[in-house]
Amino acid sequence: MPATSASPAPTTVLLVTSAAAFLSSLDLFIVNIAFPAIRADFPGSDLGQLSWVLNGYTVVFAAFLALAGRLADRLGHRRLFLVGLAVFTVASALCAVAPTVWTLVAARAVQAVGAAMVMPTSLSLLLAAYPPERRSHAVGAWASIGAVAAALGPPVGGLLVELSWHWVFLVNVPVGVVALLVGLRVLVEPGTARVGVPDLLGATGLVVGVGALAYALVRAPDDGWVSVPVLSGAALAVAGVTWVVLRSRRHPVPALELDVLRVPVVATAALTMTAFTTAFAGMLVVNVLFLTGTWGWSAALAGFGLAPGPLVVVVVSRFSGRLATRFGSGPVALAGTVAFAAGPTWWLLRLGTEQGYWAGVLPGQVFTGLGVGLILPTLSALVGSALPAHQWGSGPSLINTARQGGSVLGVALLVSVVGTHTTGLPEELGALRGGWVLLVASALVAAVFATALTVVERRRGTPADRPASAPAT
């Protein structure tokens, strides 16, 4: 069905692209809480195999985001968005009927490819639908929806698991079908210039590099940090990243557009995003383990216990764009990292085997929700406003790759810290407390990068959200 020739209503485009981004982000985290139910259905599987149901999706998602942005510049953003949404929806149905763990892992990988097509193209379609003066607020709304979806993974997953773990995947199908049908009617192709054939070999190196890094981090707790599998994975990760960087320096349509990384504001924002989402992803895993294991809560009750954080994100993200316009993206991001770090610090001081939700868990949820609501919309909007139109595909894919790469690191590092203590039993509380220490450390690293972002903005001499047509420095 051809796209309508009339300009689509910006609000309709926002709804369609946000729905797709919601599904893509939700599936990064919704499966965590379904692990016990999935393992019960596949009694021959172990936790190592089940970890790839989550990590396999995240690795493929992070690695293919860069390629998807370049393919969008080549084939068209509308076309790739619709194809990606269709792939994601069909793969979700395949996940629900998977007969084995490895079939589920394979279906999740296909699902991640579709999600990787959706994320950068949804943002570029949104940028094209809004005038420059309204873009920062529209992108802020889009980014906050993705953040809420990621944070809602445990509560939504907990409710669905009460029915069956299959519903964790089936819930994507009706939403995906509706978004696809509406998108076919209302989305139009942005007026961006077509580029040549993307560097598929370079993109393959990126897939290998990210995948090998995740493999090394996941294997380290069992095999040791200096074991052959871990060292081999680390070496392959370095080789893969080196390969893609070298090819990107000379290829006319690189897998990674290094010119984007040469923009100081964008490069610093990507580093901030990576460090922050390392803490964010780790939080979503360790808190589920604590509530369901140490306190013995059901999946549904744990989901509701974690719900206040997303509610704070919704409220705060409505104001983050205005705050960034007034004070700059760096100061807002710095405030977000400090607020987030206060959450796990509070849990370290207050939580133990004795249950105390209102004075223990809840204040930390408020702190972390404040941090997420300030940082994720601000950094996503910064990239959209700092780059010209011809980089709307590669720019957003960079910040999204940083975001998902941070998620890979967060989950893998948390597994390394927690080790085999995956049940959250009271006698294993010390290991979970180590997870909270990891969250604080990652948030403080993000604070360092956010401080650097503030300095870069001041040297630039203009607000970070200046018009996209302005020359980058």
Q: At what angle do helices 264-289 and 132-163 cross, to 10 degrees?
A: 20
pLDDT in tens, 135-184: 777 777 776 676 667 667 778 888 898 889 999 999 999 999 999 999 99
Cα 361 to Cα 397: distance, rounded to the nearest angstrom: 34
Cα 130 to Cα 69: distance, rounded to the nearest angstrom: 20
Please tell me if the domain spanning 9-187 has the same topology as the one spanning 257-460: yes
Asked whether 337 and 446 are in contact (CB, 8 A), the reply is yes
Angle 151-155-156 from CA coordinates, rounded to 5°? 95
Under DSSP, the state recorded for 165 is T
Cα 424 to Cα 434: distance, rounded to the nearest angstrom: 12
Outline where 251-389 has alpha helix (H). 258-261, 264-289, 299-305, 308-327, 329-350, 362-386
Cα 150 to Cα 113: distance, rounded to the nearest angstrom: 18
More confident residue, 197 or 17: 17
Mapped onto helix, strand or coil, the DSSP state of residue 171 is: coil
**What band does 427 get if pLDDT is binned at 50, 70 and 90?**
low
Domain boundaries, the chain: 9-187, 199-254, 257-460
More confident residue, 393 or 440: 440
Decide if pLDDT at 225 tops 90.
no
More confident residue, 232 or 36: 232
Side-chain half-sphere of 396: how many Cα atoms within 13 Å?
32
Q: Which helix (H) or strand (E) holds 142?
A: helix 132-163
Mean pLDDT, rounded, of the chain: 83
CATH code, residues 257-460? 1.20.1250.20
Instruction: Please spell the DSSP secondary structure of 58-71, one letter per residue.
Output: HHHHHHHHHHHHHH
Mapped onto helix, strand or coil, the DSSP state of residue 355 is: coil
Asked whether 96 and 59 are in contact (CB, 8 A), the reply is no
Decide if pLDDT at 425 tops 70.
no
Decide if pLDDT at 2 tops 60.
no
Decide if pLDDT at 250 tops 80.
yes
More confident residue, 4 or 187: 187
**What band does 105 get if pLDDT is binned at 50, 70 and 90?**
very high
Token pair recorded at residue 359? 């004075």
Q: What mean pLDDT do residues 395-408 have?
A: 78
Decide if pLDDT at 472 tops 50.
no
**What band does 131 get if pLDDT is binned at 50, 70 and 90?**
confident
Decide if pLDDT at 316 tops 80.
yes
Residue position matching structure tokens 């390394």: 416
CA nearest 80: which of 47, 122, 43? 122
* pLDDT at site 191: 64
pLDDT in tens, 295-310: 988 888 988 888 888 8
SS3 of the chain: helix, strand, coil, percent, to 5: 80, 0, 20
| Torsion, CA 215, CA 219, CA 221, CA 226, rounded to 10 | -100
CA nearest 20: which of 182, 156, 130, 135? 182
CATH code, residues 9-187? 1.20.1250.20
Tell me which of 119-123, 188-192, 213-217, 362-366 is least confident. Answer: 188-192
Q: What mean pLDDT do residues 221-248 have?
A: 90
Tell me which of 44-48, 69-73, 352-356, 463-467 is least confident. Answer: 463-467
**Identity at 280, one-letter amino acid code:** F
Token pair recorded at residue 227? 């074991």
Encode 195-207: b = buried (16+ Cβ within 10 Å), e = exposed: beebbeebbbbbb
Distance between the two ends of the chain, CA-based, in angstroms?
Answer: 42
* pLDDT at site 470: 34
